[in-house]
């Protein structure tokens, strides 16, 4: 025990509910509490305020919290004896011993480490006065783990905690803090979750003197959602209420969003257990599963879902920051949550047999990005667009997981049919595990390695599920096929007019002799030592990605929208917009933000004459919020992600019959790539099966075989 701690003990007079925990309880808690960043301190202080029965909590941060944090509440407050004891390690008023821990913790905090841990790496000033008391309050200053002063001051009821000089005595930890915008993103996320968890508490957050959001504290969850996420999201939320007679959960309640109101990250999928915010994978997965086919693989709804169960049925002491919980019957919990959410969606008519209708894109002013579409022959992947494409429904690719732009110039009905056909074939012909990892955006466009004289066949209709994935017996070039292999027909030529050589020489790829196509999705080749399968979509995507990346790095073209698109942003997205305005312009977004958190988008990135939907701006902002990288690095990474997505637009899709000439052009272009073996999202382009594996499968080594 230090001299300062001894002094604090000797100076303490009067009674206090804050007590030191016994060693057995301390060992069971085993938190290893560390204040990693400003958001860590904000979380602990907000939890203390809520545990103190506050009806109002104000959070103010400067420079993302790196220069200052202030949390003020109107809670119960503390006496001088309380506050002196509270800054010592392992002292708390929330549990007494291990029995309290075993029977279930009802408070947000219980380890007795927060104030001590924060004060150990900063200058901590606490001003507090008990609720209902008369006279002055107490001001305590605790810096770098030392008690500097305790004196009487005038202050309102409740507690105000100020944190300054964070990490002044731990420069290594301060060095690894990210940009102010990134740190504030973490702070905003923490405060938002506690605001949603406590709609009866008025919670406000300010950054550098500017209010980010403020909730009314009237007990209405939907009003709270509107304060932190905006009116557009709040109006898309549907109520969730289900009680259970059997099972671990007693009640599931809250709000979940319409399937079309979604984002690309899980950040807005909030789960609460007994009013404690936790990142419960069990509950999150159950919520998403309840939407069935309504959400693409990388889209997530807005949700604020509260699970209620006996405190003894859940362990909250499994994570140092109390962000995870362990259920005694996790599968039963998963089933109950899914049932509750699914019933609410069904009740509101939001569960259908196919993906929901997407919102049509806004009309766009045609541009011709420099370097693409100028050459008639070898700029593979160029897609012509009309200046005013007919509004079409947006399909969702179940394999790529992203929302796809409609094929320009086609009717809405043909787009739907083509999208559904593509989804059916991709499910049949692609490995689920690897395909789900892709975040590509696929669209039915002309293959990059073909022209109109070598157009591809139409995908088969999926009206008959028994024939949807069967290859056509003949192609539109008069070639008869057997199991996808080209066996005869007219002489095929490349785009350059040269006769097809099925065994070309490559610089990077291994020697390949093309045999044909499998399921109109994979190119089958013979190698010197076995077989190789080439995923035609992944190959074309890699080709387009490398060409597009060069163009994007040279000049990011912004395509003007014929009519600006106005969208509402969440509090976090609006904060990210202010912080990353210049980065957005570099990526090709032209937009302006109003005071009511609405953004007007006037231009979007455009390359290959294909554009991102204006709503993609939200996903980019979410990426900035979730990226734990410095500004320049984050911009480069996001630009690369956008290029990877754009590369999918003109790429050959699965279920597309190719001619010999177009196959050879595809392989030659792939051979020119820096990395021909993986698509930009990491999926393999080529799978090789060597001779030994083939012979093992045919058991050619059985005894007696000559």
Task: Report the run of H or E that residue 339 belongs to, with start and end.
Answer: helix 330-347
At 609 the pLDDT is 55
Q: How would residue 604 be classed by pLDDT, with cut points 50, 70 and 90?
A: confident
Q: Where are the domains of the chain?
A: 1-206, 236-356, 357-706
Report the candidate in 358, 521, 354 with the shortest Cα–Cα distance to residue 426. Answer: 521
Read off the pLDDT of each residue in 312-338 and give the average, rounded to a whole number: 77
Most confident segment among 60-74, 351-365, 616-630: 60-74
Beta partners for residue 61, in sequence order: 69, 207
At 399 the pLDDT is 35
Look up tokens 């259970």; give the residue.
244
Most confident segment among 321-325, 393-397, 666-670: 666-670
Q: Roughly what angle, to the nearest 10 degrees, separates helices 631-646 and 536-554?
A: 130
Beta partners for residue 485, in sequence order: 482, 516
Beta partners for residue 525, in sequence order: 514, 532
**Across 338-342, 590-594, 660-664, least confident range:** 660-664
> pLDDT tens for residues 386-413?
333 333 333 333 333 333 333 333 333 3
> pLDDT tens for residues 415-460?
334 444 443 444 344 343 333 333 333 333 334 443 433 333 344 4
Whether the CB-CB separation of 624 and 185 falls below 8 Å is answered with yes
**Across 53-62, 367-376, 544-553, least confident range:** 367-376
* Distance of alpha carbon 534 from alpha carbon 524, whole angstroms: 7
Fold annotation for 236-356: Ribosomal Protein S5; domain 2 (3.30.230)
76 Cβ contact partners less than 8 Å away, ≥ 6 residues apart: 52, 53, 130, 131, 158
At 613 the pLDDT is 77
Read off the pLDDT of each residue in 641-650 and give the average, rounded to a whole number: 73
Most confident segment among 19-23, 363-367, 480-484, 642-646: 642-646
Residue 72 has pLDDT above 90, yes or no: yes
At 621 the pLDDT is 82
Whether the CB-CB separation of 669 and 543 falls below 8 Å is answered with yes
At 160 the pLDDT is 97
Read off the pLDDT of each residue in 526-551 and give the average, rounded to a whole number: 89
- Between 143 and 387, where is the model more confident? 143
* Distance of alpha carbon 665 from alpha carbon 543, whole angstroms: 11
Q: How would residue 629 be classed by pLDDT, with cut points 50, 70 and 90?
A: low
Task: Report the run of H or E that residue 188 belongs to, with start and end.
Answer: helix 180-197
CB atoms < 10 A from the CB of 216, how many?
14
* Distance of alpha carbon 190 from alpha carbon 222, whole angstroms: 19
Most confident segment among 409-413, 658-662, 673-677: 673-677
Look up tokens 């490398």; give the residue.
546
User: Which structure tokens are listed for 217?
Assistant: 């504290």
Q: How would residue 630 be classed by pLDDT, with cut points 50, 70 and 90?
A: low
Sign of the C-alpha dihedral, residues 506, 508, 509, 510?
positive
Most confident segment among 356-360, 484-488, 692-696: 692-696
Between the alpha carbon of residue 485 and those of residues 58, 144, 385, 619, the distances in Å are: 69, 74, 34, 42
Whether the CB-CB separation of 291 and 301 falls below 8 Å is answered with yes
* Distance of alpha carbon 608 from alpha carbon 597, whole angstroms: 32
At 242 the pLDDT is 96
In three-state form (DSSP H/G/I as H, E/B as E, the rest C), the secondary structure along 654-685 is: CCCCCCHHHHHHHHHHHHCCCCCCECCCCCEC
Q: Which CATH number fits domain 1-206: 3.40.50.920, 3.30.565.10, 3.30.530.20, 3.40.50.720?
A: 3.30.565.10
Report the candidate in 187, 173, 17 with the shortest Cα–Cα distance to residue 86. Answer: 17
Provide the 8-state DSSP code for 197. Answer: H
Read off the pLDDT of each residue in 605-619 and give the average, rounded to a whole number: 71
Q: How would residue 645 be classed by pLDDT, with cut points 50, 70 and 90?
A: confident
Report the candidate in 188, 211, 159 with the shortest Cα–Cα distance to residue 54. Answer: 159
Which of 75-89 are b and which e, b meaning 16 or more Cβ less than 10 Å from the residue's Cβ?
bbbbbbbbbbbbbbb
3-state DSSP percent of the chain in helix, strand and coil, to 5 = 35, 20, 45
Read off the pLDDT of each residue in 120-142 and give the average, rounded to a whole number: 93
Q: How would residue 484 be classed by pLDDT, with cut points 50, 70 and 90?
A: very low
> pLDDT tens for residues 243-297?
999 999 999 999 999 998 999 888 899 999 988 888 888 999 999 999 987 888 7
Q: How would residue 13 be classed by pLDDT, with cut points 50, 70 and 90?
A: low
At 65 the pLDDT is 94
Q: How would residue 27 be classed by pLDDT, with cut points 50, 70 and 90?
A: very low
The model's pTM is: 0.63
At 157 the pLDDT is 95
For residue 484, the SS3 value is: coil
* Distance of alpha carbon 538 from alpha carbon 686, whole angstroms: 9
User: Which structure tokens are listed for 532?
Assistant: 């190789």
Beta partners for residue 605, in sequence order: 558
* Distance of alpha carbon 54 from alpha carbon 49, whole angstroms: 6
> pLDDT tens for residues 310-319?
877 777 655 5
Read off the pLDDT of each residue in 539-565 and give the average, rounded to a whole number: 81
At 90 the pLDDT is 58
At 257 the pLDDT is 95
User: Which structure tokens are listed for 553?
Assistant: 């790095």
* Distance of alpha carbon 639 from alpha carbon 648, whole angstroms: 15
Report the candidate in 249, 238, 240 with the shortest Cα–Cα distance to residue 335. Answer: 249
Between the alpha carbon of residue 575 and those of residues 203, 404, 569, 599, 665, the distances in Å are: 17, 28, 9, 12, 47
At 524 the pLDDT is 94
* Distance of alpha carbon 571 from alpha carbon 57, whole angstroms: 17
- Mean pLDDT estimate for the chain: 74
Phi–psi pair at 435, nearest 5 degrees: -70, -35
- Between 705 and 355, where is the model more confident? 705
**Across 249-258, 475-484, 658-667, least confident range:** 475-484
At 499 the pLDDT is 60
* CA atoms within 13 Å, Cβ hemisphere of 577: 24
For residue 217, the SS3 value is: coil
Between the alpha carbon of residue 212 and those of residues 73, 81, 157, 571, the distances in Å are: 18, 36, 25, 6
Report the candidate in 14, 20, 191 with the shortest Cα–Cα distance to residue 96. Answer: 20
**Across 180-194, 196-210, 289-303, least confident range:** 289-303
Read off the pLDDT of each residue in 194-214 and give the average, rounded to a whole number: 95
Read off the pLDDT of each residue in 86-100 and give the average, rounded to a whole number: 55
Phi–psi pair at 102, nearest 5 degrees: -70, -35
- Between 652 and 417, where is the model more confident? 652
At 306 the pLDDT is 96
Between the alpha carbon of residue 121 and those of residues 39, 41, 142, 164, 170, the distances in Å are: 14, 10, 10, 10, 7
CA 260 and chain centroid, separation: 16
Whether the CB-CB separation of 392 and 406 falls below 8 Å is answered with yes
């Amino acid at each position: 025990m230090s001299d300062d701690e001894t002094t604090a003990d000797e100076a303490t007079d009067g009674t206090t509910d804050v007590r030191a925990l016994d060693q057995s309880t301390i060992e069971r808690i085993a938190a290893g509490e560390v204040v990693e960043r400003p958001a860590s301190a904000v979380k602990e202080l907000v939890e203390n305020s809520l545990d103190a029965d506050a009806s109002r909590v104000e959070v103010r941060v400067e420079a993302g919290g790196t220069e200052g944090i202030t949390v003020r509440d109107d809670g119960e407050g503390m006496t001088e004896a309380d506050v002196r004891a509270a800054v010592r390690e392992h002292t708390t008023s929330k549990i007494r011993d291990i029995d309290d821990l075993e029977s279930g913790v009802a408070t947000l905090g219980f380890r007795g480490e927060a104030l001590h841990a924060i004060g150990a790496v900063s200058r901590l000033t606490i001003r507090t006065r008990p609720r209902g008391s008369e006279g002055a309050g107490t001001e305590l200053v605790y810096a770098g783990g030392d008690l500097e002063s305790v004196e009487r001051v005038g202050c309102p009821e409740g507690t105000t905690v100020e944190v300054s000089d964070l990490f002044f005595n731990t420069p290594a930890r301060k060095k690894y803090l990210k940009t102010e915008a990134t740190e504030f993103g973490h702070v905003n996320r923490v405060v938002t979750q506690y605001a949603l968890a406590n709609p009866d508490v008025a919670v406000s957050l300010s950054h550098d003197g500017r209010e980010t959001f403020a909730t009314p504290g009237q007990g209405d969850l939907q009003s709270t959602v509107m304060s932190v996420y905006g009116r557009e999201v709040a109006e898309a939320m549907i109520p969730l209420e289900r009680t259970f007679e059997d099972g671990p959960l007693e009640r599931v309640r809250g709000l979940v969003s319409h399937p079309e109101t979604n984002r690309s990250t899980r950040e807005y999928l909030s789960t609460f257990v007994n009013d404690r915010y936790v990142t419960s994978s069990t509950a999150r997965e159950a919520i998403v599963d309840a939407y069935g086919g309504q959400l693409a693989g990388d889209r997530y709804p807005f949700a604020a879902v509260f699970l209620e169960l006996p405190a003894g049925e859940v362990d909250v002491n499994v994570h140092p920051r109390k962000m995870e919980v362990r259920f005694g019957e996790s599968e039963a919990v998963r089933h109950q949550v899914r049932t509750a959410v699914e019933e609410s969606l069904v009740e509101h008519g939001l569960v259908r047999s196919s993906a929901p209708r997407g919102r049509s894109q806004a009309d766009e002013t045609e541009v011709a990005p420099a370097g693409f579409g100028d050459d008639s022959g070898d700029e593979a992947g160029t897609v012509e667009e009309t200046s005013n494409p007919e509004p079409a429904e947006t399909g969702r690719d179940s394999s790529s997981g992203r929302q796809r732009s409609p094929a320009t110039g086609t009717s809405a009905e043909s787009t739907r049919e083509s999208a559904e056909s593509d989804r059916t074939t991709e499910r049949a012909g692609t490995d689920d595990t690897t395909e789900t990892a892709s975040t590509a955006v696929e669209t039915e466009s002309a293959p990059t390695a073909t022209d109109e004289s070598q157009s591809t066949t139409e995908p088969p209709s999926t009206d008959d599920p028994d024939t949807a994935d069967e290859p056509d017996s003949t192609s539109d070039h008069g070639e008869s096929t057997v199991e996808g292999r080209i066996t005869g027909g007219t002489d095929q030529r490349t785009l350059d007019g040269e006769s097809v050589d099925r065994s070309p020489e490559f610089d990077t790829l291994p020697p390949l002799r093309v045999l044909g196509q499998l399921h109109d999705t994979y190119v089958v080749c013979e190698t010197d030592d076995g077989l190789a399968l080439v995923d035609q979509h992944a190959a074309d995507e890699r080709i387009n990605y490398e060409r597009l990346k060069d163009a994007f790095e040279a000049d990011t073209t912004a395509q003007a929208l014929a009519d600006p698109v106005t969208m509402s942003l969440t509090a976090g997205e609006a904060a990210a917009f202010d912080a990353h305005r210049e980065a957005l312009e570099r990526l090709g977004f032209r937009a302006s933000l109003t005071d009511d958190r609405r953004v007007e988008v006037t231009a979007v990135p455009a390359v290959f004459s294909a554009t991102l939907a204006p709503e993609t701006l939200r996903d980019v902002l979410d990426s900035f919020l979730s990226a734990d990288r410095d500004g320049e690095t984050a911009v480069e990474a996001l630009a690369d992600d956008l290029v990877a997505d754009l590369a999918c637009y003109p790429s050959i899709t699965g279920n597309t019959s190719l001619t010999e000439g177009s196959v050879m052009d595809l392989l030659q272009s792939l051979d020119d790539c820096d990395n021909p073996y993986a698509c930009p999202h990491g999926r393999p382009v080529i799978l090789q099966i060597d001779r030994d594996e083939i012979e093992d499968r045919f058991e050619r080594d059985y005894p007696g075989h000559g």
